[in-house]
Structure formats: C-alpha cells, structure tokens
Structure 1
C-alpha cells in the first residue's frame, strides 16, 4: 500500500514539474507576432478588409499577462480606404485558450481610436458586413476545397448542391476549384461544403472581452444620401464584460461636432446594452442619454432620453418601456422658437409590425414655447391603446393646441373615442374637433363630429358623416351672433395619392356647396368649386362705422387774393401701414377652382351672378373670367398677385349706376349718373402704405346724364357775377363756405382720365359738358396719394346764358374761362380763383377796384362771427367748385 502511494505521489510530482516546465517553455518561446499574419488572413477572408498591424505585438508577464499593439488600421470592404485605426491598444489575455486557438481577453485598453462611418445612396453603412450573419468564405482555404470537393455525377441533387454553393459563397466570391460538366457549369457536393465550413471554423478566433476602456476616440460620420457631415471627438467609453447576446454596462461621453447640420454639443450616457448581430437584436436597458449644446437649429440647454429600448430587426419589433424624453432650449433659423420645452413619456410603447400589433399605455406629449408671432402650448394624451389583427380597442384620446397672439387666442381640441375594428381596418365611433378664435370682442367657434375609418394596409379611409356648425359672437353683428350648420364628408387614399371632400352648409337660409379634390399630397395639387345661392360677408364680418366727413374752414387773406386758410392733413391711423401682406405662400401652392355665387354682399357692395376662375401655381395667382352683375351694369376683369407681393387689377364696369356704386364703395354721394369705369393698376409692397406708394396704371371714367351734387355751378357763377357788378357799392352778397347737398349741377357727359405712377396721379383729361357749362383740367393737375396732397387747376367756361330763379343774367360771363387752383391736403384743400388769368375786361376792372380785397375782408368778418347763424346760407362758389371736383376724383 505504501509502495502504491509513493508511486502515485511521485507521478503527480512529475506531472506538476512537467506542466511547470511546459508553461515556462511556452511563455519563454511564445511569439505573439506569429499571430499577426493569421489575424490579417482571417479578417481578409471573412470580411474582405485589410487589417494592418504596423507595430509589434508585445507580450508582458507582469503585473499580469497581456498583449499590447501599436498602429493598427482596418480598411473598408474591398477598398484601400481607411475605416478605422488605433494608436495603441493593450489586451489582458488568458493563456490556456490560446493553446486551443481561442483568444479570451480579460480587459482591453484602447487609445486614439478613430473611425470613418459612411452611408451610401442606398442607405447601406460601411460597417454592415461586420454586423451581418456569418458567411462561409469559399476561397478562404483552397486546400480544404480541393480535398474531396470535386464530383461529376448528374442527378436530382444537382439543384440542391448548387443552392448549397450559393449559400456558402460570400458576396462577390468565385469558386477556386470545380469540375466543368457539360454546359451546366460548376457544381459542388455536400462533402465539399462541409469541408469548407470546417476549414473556416478552424480559422475562427473566438473573442471574449471582459471590459473595454477607450480614450481619446474620434468617429467621423458622413451620409451621402442627406449630405450630413459631422464627428464625435474626445470620445471616452467604458464597458463591462462584452459578449454577444449578453447584456453589459456601457458608459460614454464625448463632444458632437457637425458641419451639416451645424452642431457643437456635449453628450454623455449610460446603458445596459445587449446585441446579437447574427439575429439582429439590440437593446439598451436603463438608458440615460444627455446632450447639451447646439444641434442644428436647436440650442439645447438640456436634452434627456431615459428608458428601456429593445429592437428586433427581423421581427420589425420596437419595445419601449418607461420612456422619458425632455428637451429645453431655443430654436433658430427661419422658424425660431424661444423657451422651447417639450416632453414625451410612455410607460409602455410596443410596435410589432410583423404581427401588426400596437400597444400604448399612458403616452403623454407636451410642448410649449414662443415664436415671433405667437406663443404655443400643445398637449396630447393616449391613456391606453391596443391594436392587433384580432381587435382594436382603447380609451379616449385627447389633444389640445393653444396659440396666443397679442390680439387673438386660438384654441383647438381633438378627441377620439370608440376605437374598434382590427389592425387592418380601424374605426372610430366619434372623432370630435372643437376650435375657438378670440379677437377683441369677436369669438368664432367650430364644433364638428364624425365617425372615422382607416384601412391600414390599403392606406385609405376618411370621415364619412361630418356634422357640425360654426358660431360667431360679435356685438357688431345683427342680434350679436351668427351661426350656420354644415354636413359633409372627407375621403383620403394615400396609395392613389388623392383626397376628396364635399361640404354642404346653410348660410342665412341659403345653400352653399364646397367641393375639393387634391392629388400628389406631398406637394398637393388642389381643385375646388364653390357654389352658393347667397353669400353675405357682413353676417360674419360686420361693416365698421363710417367716419365723419371733415368740415371746411373759413378763408383768410393772403397776398391780395382770396385764399382759404390751409388745413393740416389728418394724421393717418397708427395702424395704417402696420398691416402686413405676405404672399410668399404662393411659391408652394398649386390651386385651381371656380366660384359661382347667386348674390354677394361685402360691406356695402352688392353684386349678383358672380363667377370667376382662380389659378395659383409657380408663385403666381390669377382670378380670371371675373364676371358680376352690379348696380344696373356688369363687371368683367382679372386680378393678379405673386409671391413677391405684386398685385394687379384690370377691371371694366359697364353701364353701372355710378352714384350708387360710389355711395356703397367710398361712401360718397357727390356724383350721379350711369357710365363706364375702367381700372388697370398694379403695385407691389408688404403694407397698405407701400402698395399705395407703388400704385401705377390708369383709371378712366365715362359718365352720362348725371349730376354733381353739392353745388349748382350756374347759381354760384351768378353769385360771383353779382359780386363783380356790385364791387363799387360794397354790397357783396354773403358767400357760404359749405357744400350744400341740396344743390347739384346736371351734366350730359363727364369724362376723366387719370394716370398713376408710383403713387402719383396725373389727371390727363377732364371734360364735363353741362347744358350751359364746360369744365376742363388745366396745369398742374396732380394728386400725391402717398402724402395726401393735391394741386389741381380747373377751368370753368360758360357757353350759354339763361335766367334762373334769381333772374341773374350771366351774358357778360359767356365764353369766359374761370381758372380755379385747388391745392393742399386732399381731405381739406384750399381754393383760389386765378383772377389774373381771367380774360374779361369787366372782371379785370373789378379786380383793379379791389374786388379781391373786399372778398377777403368779408371772409375774415364771417370767420370772426362764425358763432352767429348766417341770415342766408349760400355756398362759397370757389370752394363749392373745388369740392365738386374733389368728389369727381373720389377724394
């Protein structure tokens, strides 16, 4: 027994001594650089990439066994372009696995890692092959393929053998050894495939990393499809044990620098990561990613993403739990936002497209901020939704949007309830929209409900029975409010890329129909048709109260001529010019449609049988074939606009009642008659003041058998004539300085032509023919629309005589032209008789005898006694003529 025990102990000692000696010999003779070529060969055969280890692989024994390497690089697939490089790396290696062709790494420390990641036009990354399924590289070991690989038999297995070859072949690889058999090409047996697989398995170097410590890393990113260009620098990564299909901790930090889009942001994050490239499954549990800095147009004070995320590419499954996303910062660019705060939370969100399943629990979205025009506040809540091929159900979904401007508040509420159907065909019992717009004392409210359907795979559905009403509350409206109901439908087909809608409404007891068709919805082309029996905009937009007319002021003596004291022009409202016009939306609009309205009323204007065609595309809009019956005549013409705020109008009104038209449009009652008005004007500007300053074109007026109200020219000329005759007695009749709407001058024709050039109007023609009078324009004859100033010479000539009710004989003025100078602010001009230009001996003598001074003194006395009622109200002949001409010009 003792002998046996001694032999066993001796044998153990011998084995231990042999093992120690063997290990010592292995450590002393092991050359890690012998693996360089093997590693390079494995990488090239498997991935078609060139691995270059320029530095020596060094072995260290203390304080632990490890390998260190310098200057390592890896190329892109089938290219010499650099994909990644490492300045230095150190591996802590387990020794025994090396003897069995396995590399088990306890720890990896990397410094100076750099990578260049690209995505091509087809969306493929230059590292996809590194994460793809393992492929057998047939040309990896020719000797293994040659041994037992060649067969020449025909038979039923031929197709299966070829399929095996196809599966075994890497992309772009060619067989190294094969047998040609007739015209059938190359064929391999299952034995050859097994040999190839075994050969490759013998070259596999299994890697297991216990931890990674990466410092001073840099990753360059370039997306060919979008043009995005940027990099992550100063990257530091620390991980736990890294193995495929097992979770490990990852902590990283770095800085994101971008050129397109511009970026400069610090990032840091932690997560428990698990990935399996072969099965294309990836997950990040306990994710906590934080970013601060500039990200494109967003300058983020903080951007945080937390939660658990899992993605299965094969199953097309996204599973998210405890998701929390928060962003705070400011947005620059064409649509700036100040004080942006947005958040998204979802305790559970699961999207399984392979099984057509969706599950949402307590999803909540919030966003608020301020743009230059308004502040916004958005909220959306989905308490519980479940959609599957078997059924769809869920609790009501709510969403609200609030837009606040200095002068208005817009609120929109969206509700969805009664979810039903299944994953292929979703239904809603009720889709409800409520909206309100508050502007000063005006409140507009919209309420609409409808059942809804949506075919998920057909990508078609809509609102089959829309029902609702619009209510307007405004103290200026008759009765204080206005309401009209509507019904309709809306259908969309995203496969055919079209949308159609039809609305029927009742406005003030009349029917309205609106149809819309849209195609190419990403860049929509829209066609519409509006038909209405009666459309009264005043029921929705009340007419503002009329402003009182400016009153004239007494004349004053100046320079020996009768002259009215100059009146200051009324200052324009502070709102004038503050209104803005922006037609830039026309650049993105493709719109065409028709209008047909039986009766139309807008403010005081009224028309019937209104029709027009509208076309807007390529930044231009035109209202063509405009036709309407109004004021006993017709309107035809064309309106134009473009995205640069250039507006134009070419209109002809024929046979219209000019008096009624001017009364309703300009609230003027100084001209009556029937005639034709032609307008051809254009302008450009972003405000009403700018449009007025750029007004260019022409206006023509032709009126027949009418009257100028406010003055009787024959009567006022008789008063002037009487004043001339009584100049020596000093008994001049009283002359009123107000327009008397009880007087009028009848005429048989009135023709006026006005030329406009950048806000300056020139009266090129003014001819008025009355039974005994002729009126023409003189020089100057201009109106400054921009500064509200006018300077107009008017020539009045008597061509016949008669005795009126006062039996004044005007024979001495027959054939005499009396020029009048009208100048000053257009709302209150001054008027002067150009006495020196009158070719009449009698008037010349009266002037030499002091007629002008006597008239001026009389005007001054009247001004001082203006608080006492005049014995006989008479119109000032000079001012009356001026006011009449002003009325003709629409001033």
Structure 2
C-alpha cells in the first residue's frame, strides 16, 4: 500500500511540475502574434472576408487560460461599400483551469468587449450583408440536419459540466448601425453599455444596460438606461428582476427641445416550469404623471392570461403638456384638462379583454363602468358606462368671429362628401349602454339620458331617451343599414311638453319663440352624402305648441302700418312688444323625395287666425309658402283698433325664394278692395232686409241677394 501511495504522490508531483513548466515555458517560446497571418487566412477561407488585426494578441495560460485581442477589422460584403462589417477595439476572454480540471466546473472570468462597431445593412433587393457568412443554408435545412442527428450536441446528457459561473460581462462604447435600403429605415445604437456582476445559478447579480438610439425618419433620439438585480435559476426554470428601473428620454422631430422623459420601476418574476409571470410594484412616472399597478400572468407560452389593476393618480394634463412644451388643444374654456385620474381592474385572455370597475375623473366629470373586447381578430365590443355630468362646449375650440363671405356657387360642396364609414360599420360589432346625468353640447342642455347602441352585420341601431329636456321629454330611434350598395337611414323622434322658448334661445342665441308643446318625426332616406339623403328623404312631421309667441314680429302692427301707408297716412307710434301671441300653433307635413308639403298650418291668437300652406324644397334649399292671417277681433288682444275693415278678410303673405335670400310680399291693395266689397255687400244686404223689405214684390228680395253673391 505504501508503494502505491508513493507512486500516486509521484505522479501528482510530476503533473504539478509539468503544469509549472508549461506556465513558465509556453509564454516564452510561443508568441500568438506569430499566428496573425494564419488567423487571417483561415478567416478568409471560412467567410470570404478580409480580417485585419492592428493590435497585439495576448495569451495567458495558468491559472486563467485566456486570450486578449486588440484592433480587429472585418471587411464588409461585396456591394456594401468599404466600411468594415465589424470592428473591435479590445476583447478579452479567460477561463479558470483549476476548477475545470479538478471539479469539471466552468468558471469564466469577466468577459470584456470595448469599442465594438457593427454595420448591418440590407440592399434594395432585400439582400443583407451577412447572408454570405451563413453559407446559404436555409432554416429548413438546419432543422432537417438537427433532426438527422447533425445538430448541436445534447448538453443535457451525462458527463457534462458540473457547474457554470461567469465573472460578469463588460461591454462598453459599442455602436451598431442598421440601414435597410428596401424600406428606407435607418437606426443607430450608440454608446451601448452592458455591465453585470458575477453570475452563477441561484445567485442575484446587479446589471446595467444603457444605450442611445437614433432614428432617421422621423428624426428621433432616444436615451435608454436599465438597472436591476437579476437572478436566474436554470434548474428551477425561474427568472427574476428585482428593483428594475428604466429611464427613457425621447427627443427630436415633433417633440420639445428638452425631450420627453419617463421612468419605469417594477419587480419581475417569471417561472418557466409553471409558466407564470408576476409584476409587482409597477410604477410609470413622467413628471406629475404617475401610473401604478400590478400584473399577474398565467400560461404565458401557450394561452396567455393576465389580470391586475392599474391606477393613474390625479394630475393636470394641461400642466404636464406645458412642462414638455407639447401643443395644447384650443378649448373654449382654458381651465379644462386641469384634473385627470383613473383606476381599473383588467382581465385578458387570448380571445377576450375585460376592463372592470373602470373609474375616471376628468375635471368635474366622473365616469364609471365596464368594457369588454371579444376576439381582437374580429372584434366585438360591449360596454356599460355611467357619466354624471359634462359640459362638452368647454372642450370645443373657442368661437372665432369670421368676416362674412359671399357664397360661391359650386357644383361640388360639403353636400357631396361621404358621411358614413361603410367598411367600418359593416365590420362593427357593438352592444353598449351609456347613461348621462346631465350634458351640455352646442349650448343645448339635457338630463337623465339613456342611449343604447347596437351594431352587427352592417346594421346600427341607436335608441335614446332623454328624461328631462327643457321641462319635457325627448326620445327617438335611429336605424342605419349599410349592408347594401347604398346606406339606408330611418329616424323616429318625438318630444312632448317642451319649453320651446329656452330651447330656441339656447339653440340660436336669440329669444325668438315661446310656448309649450312638442313634435314627432318619422323619416327615412337612402344615400351616402347629404345631398343624396335630402333627395331621398321621405316621411311625415307633426308639431303642436300652446300659449306662446313668435317674437321679433308683431303681425298686427305690420298690418296696421301697411294699411296706413297705403292710405297715405303716417304709421301710429306703438309701445306694443315686437311679438305675435298665439294660443295654439299646429302643423303637419309630408316629405316626398326631399320635397316638404304643408297644408294645415294653424295659429290662433286673441285677434288672429293664421292659416298656411306651401312647399319647402330641401334639396334646392328654397321655399314657396303662403301665410294667411285673418283678423277675428280688433277690440281686444293685440289687434287693437284700426283694422276693423280687415276683419274676416284673409291677408296672404307670400314667402318665396332661397333660404339665404327669402323674399316676401303682401298685396294689401287687393286685400282692401276685398274689404270694401265685403262692406258694400253687407250694406246692401242690410237694406234688402230693412228699408226695402216691405217695398219689393214677393221673391224679388231673394233673387237680388242671389245676384249680389254673383257680383261680389
């Protein structure tokens, strides 16, 4: 036994002596720089490229077997210019021989790479400047070779390494260019930096990745800096990144000079075996903007499902945009966009996205509800939203006083522009409900609103109800069908007990009408443009208003003044209000192919009965209408005195012409002539019934009355 131990000890001593001799002798007798030309030749033979080595090649043997190379230049492919494909200023890789020999563990020292320059390019024909180095072997060929046993060796088989550790990675001052002539894209990664601490399975390592990214079109500059503590455990199939912090700054075309900055922080956990992902302590911030939350993921590699919550802390979008010198929208109220906050819970599946408990505050408005997206490839949307109040007018552009322009005749105007996004509507699948407590839009106010929207197969249905609309109610249904060659539109609308005065004032800005009543409309049309819809419009309208007034027009005063001028007299001064009162105003109309016909306009007042009839050409935007006021009383109400001789005589007012230049006239002379005839007829009838009653033979009196009828 003693001899055996002596023999083993001697062998070990011999090995040690040989190793020491190799460490001392090899560096003295072997100069790796003598092999530069051999390396260059082998590179040329393998790649067809020219390799240039400007610096020295360093070699270390024990205990670290390593190589150090300086000043490498690899030429570009043919047709891609003289710029080198790759350059390396300094490269160092070392392996510790002691654990490799005695424990079969691979321990690599920190890998250092400095001054890398890599020029990647693709020409206009789609050929890249590295295709020649792949040997032309297709992906299918590689897959076939691997399946035939010619692929990479199975590193999981027995007899492999017992452990792997890397002292870290240090990549500095790297520059990568991507120039794609086939698409016009050009990117440059500048000042790339990658630093890590020592890496080993089950042990956390600090790391940092920083770079600058330049894009040509549009001209943008991005600065990216990532830091965190990385842990990877291949045996457990787990990966984590704790204290992750990402800084991003983007500047360039369309952005402020100072750029836009953002910061992301989180803790990431991924388990490959369980196919789980967890994101904790998520925080995205940019000045006053702070978005926080958490995300959980399951079946990440097969059928990914995510759930979590997000919260946007209250901030001022207006101030945030001003800090970044971003253009602010022009709004009628400069104080809007002062507050914004949001919170939601989400769940996602491969074919479904659910936003639950959605809450958002915008200035003084709050909206709550749920939203669902089904099958993103052929999306269907469902939603239920509740909005407490909003003044839309505050967010619209401010009103601008524009000088009046004379209308210019044109055969092609806004009436010929398409109105409906047909393709979008044909593919739109929508089922939602919107409730609004109160809204103001275009100065019109409404409360207690419910809108139900459904769309499928090119058919859009909107059902809306307004519980409080100027002290009344408003409801209606709109159906739009775009399945055929031309869209078809149907509208049913009705209103009841509406205070017309405030409505007209809010709508026009002028106090022109008063009264309580309502209207109904049942309309249909066909077409894609406004002109087509007008031309194809059919249906009927009805309206009824009570106890009101048409303001700005005193019809009685107009008649008295016209009569005075016709008689050569000066119109009398009057303190009467400029309005025409009515106790009842009713009308109905029929629309056929864009032509509206009304035959039963009726307005009643204490002294007037007004009838009207005529036509409105909606396509030509012109009017041909006759209003016939009849004086029924001159002793009371607005009639006053001075119109006794017109009592019971219709006074036709003819309105005719385009809407933009409407003309009207009253043939008062003819009216007065009719009035005198009526008076003469009345006088003769009285005489026949009075003074001549007993003086005429029997039957002659009745014959004279009949003759007077024919005369008058």
Deviation at 1:633, TM superposition (A): 1.0
Q: CA deviation at 1:378?
A: 8.9
State the alpha-carbon separation in 1 of the partners of residues 487 and 285 from structure 2.
34
Q: In the alignment, which residue of structure 2 is the partner of 1:432?
A: 284
Structure 1 match to 2:241: 392
**2:604 corresponds to 1:769:** yes
Per the alignment, residue 743 of structure 1 pairs with: 578
Unpaired segments of 5 or more residues in structure 1? 1-209, 213-236, 241-248, 255-268, 272-284, 296-301, 331-338, 350-354, 371-375, 436-445, 551-566, 846-891
Aligned-residue RMSD, C-alpha = 5.8
Q: Are the aligned partners of 2:426 and 2:457 in contact in 1 as well (CA < 8 Å)?
A: yes
Q: Separation in 1 of the partners of 2:516 and 2:444?
A: 17
8 Å Cα contact 1:673-1:706 kept in structure 2? yes
Give the C-alpha shift of residue 707 in structure 1. Answer: 1.4
Distance 2:426 2:623 in 1: 39
2:107 is aligned to none
Measure the CA separation in 1 of the matches of 2:251 and 2:413: 29
Please say which of residues 706-715 and 481-490 is displaced more in the overlay: 481-490
Secondary structure of the 1:391 match is strand
Task: Tell me the equivalent position of 2:507.
Answer: 665
| CA deviation after TM superposition for structure 1 residue 322, in Å | 7.6
Mapping of 1:260-659 within 5 angstroms? 290-293=121-124, 324-328=177-181, 361-362=209-210, 369=217, 381=224, 383=226, 388=232, 389-393=238-242, 394-396=244-246, 398=248, 415-423=263-271, 424-427=276-279, 429-432=281-284, 447-455=289-297, 457-458=299-300, 459-469=304-314, 471-472=317-318, 477-478=332-333, 480-495=335-350, 497-507=352-362, 509=364, 511-541=366-396, 544=399, 583=421, 584-641=423-480, 649-659=491-501
**1:731 corresponds to which residue?**
569
Quote the offset at 1:656 in angstroms: 0.9
- Cα separation, 1, equivalents of 2:408 and 2:124: 54
Of 546, 554, 561, the residue aligned with 1:704 is 546
CA contact 1:531–1:597 (8 Å) conserved in 2? yes
Verify the 8 A CA contact 2:297 2:307 in the aligned structure 1.
Answer: no
Secondary structure at the aligned position of 1:486 is classed as strand
Instruction: Tell me the CA shift for residue 653 of structure 1.
Output: 1.0
TM-aligned CA distance change 1:568 to 1:771, over 3 Å: farther
Report SS of the residue matched to 2:399.
coil
Shift of 1:497: 3.6
Q: After the TM superposition, which of the residue ranges 516-525 and 591-600 deviates more from structure 2?
A: 516-525
CA contact (8 A) 2:119 2:176 kept: no
CA displacement, residues 386-427 of structure 1 (integer Å, 9 cap, x when unaligned):
67424225540537699969xx9xx98764223433454242
SS state at 2:312 partner? strand
Q: Provide the rounded CA distance (Å) in 2 between the counterparts of 1:404 and 1:619.
A: 38
Deviation at 1:673, TM superposition (A): 0.9
Q: CA offset at residue 488 of structure 1?
A: 1.0
Q: Distance in 2 between matches of 1:782 and 1:720?
A: 27
Cα distance between partner residues in 2 of 1:641 and 1:346: 58
Instruction: Give per-residue Cα distances to partners, 1:649-674, cap 9 Å, x unaligned.
Output: 42211111122212212334322111
Following TM superposition, by how much is the alpha carbon of 1:610 offset from its aligned partner in structure 2, in angstroms? 1.0
What's 1:352 paired with? none
SS at match of 1:802: coil
The TM-score with structure 1 as length reference comes to 0.47
Distance 1:486 1:363 in 2: 33
Name the count of aligned residue pairs.
521
- Tell me, in whole angstroms, the C-alpha distance in 2 between the residues paired with 1:607 and 1:629: 6
Of 383-392 and 689-698, deviating more is 689-698
Aligned equivalents of 2:354, 2:550: Cα separation in 1 = 56
TM-superposed deviation, 1:329:
6.3
Distance 1:741 1:541 in 2: 40
Rounded to whole Å, the distance in 2 between the matches of 1:792 and 1:380 is 71
Equivalent of 2:616 in 778, 782, 799: 782
Equivalent residues in 2 for 1:152-191, closer than 5 Å: none
CA deviation profile, 1:650-701 (whole Å, cap 9, x unmatched): 2211111122212212334322111112234456777777776776654432
Secondary structure of 2:651's match? strand
- Are 1:817 and 1:839, in contact at CA under 8 Å, matched by a contact in 2? no
Distance 1:307 1:383 in 2: 35
Taking the aligned partners of 2:317 and 2:677, their CA distance within structure 1 comes to 70
Cα pair 2:352 2:375 within 8 Å, conserved:
yes
> Structure 2 CA distance, aligned partners of 1:475 and 1:495?
40
- Offset of residue 466 of structure 1: 0.8
C-alpha separation in 2, matches of 1:479 and 1:710: 35
In the alignment, the residues of structure 1 paired with residue 528 and residue 356 of structure 2 have an alpha-carbon distance, to the nearest angstrom, of 33
- Tell me if the contact between 1:391 and 1:421 (Cα under 8 Å) persists in the aligned partners: yes
Distance apart, 1:582 and its partner CA = 5.5
**TM-score, normalization by structure 2:** 0.57
Secondary structure, aligned partner of 1:792: strand
- 2:655 corresponds to which residue? 822
Deviation at 1:592, TM superposition (A): 1.8
* Larger relative contact order (Cα-Cα within 8 Å, sequence gap ≥ 6): 1
1:581·1:645 contact (CA, 8 Å) conserved in 2?
A: no
Q: State the Cα distance separating 1:293 from its structure 2 match.
A: 3.9
Measure how far apart 1:827 and its partner are.
Answer: 4.2
In 2, Cα distance between equivalents of 1:400 and 1:757: 60
SS in 1 for 2:562: helix
Conservation of the 8 A alpha-carbon contact between 1:755 and 1:764: no
Distance 1:425 1:474, change over 3 A: closer
